[in-house]
Amino acid sequence: STEDAKLGGVDGKKFTYTAKMADGQYNFICIAVVRNDYVYYMLYTSTPEKYEAHLETLDEVVSYFEFKD
């Protein structure tokens, strides 16, 4: 899925998806923004069994993230 998001006060997108890789299935959250002609992204990866366990921490990290000029 795709939804609007912010990273460091910059508007961007949040992509949530699953993928099968060599040894199993993984869940991903990628928050991406464009700032000063550069693409920045933060990626969270987890197995389905542990996915929910760290979502609150991810939200905290995203909310505290800031760009330095």
Q: Please, which pLDDT band fits residue 26 given cuts at 50, 70 and 90?
A: very high
- The reported pLDDT for the residue numbered 3 is 98
Which pTM was predicted? 0.89
- 3-state secondary structure at position 41: strand
* Residue 23 pLDDT exceeds 90: no
Rounded to the nearest 5°, which phi and psi values hold at 52?
Answer: -70, -25
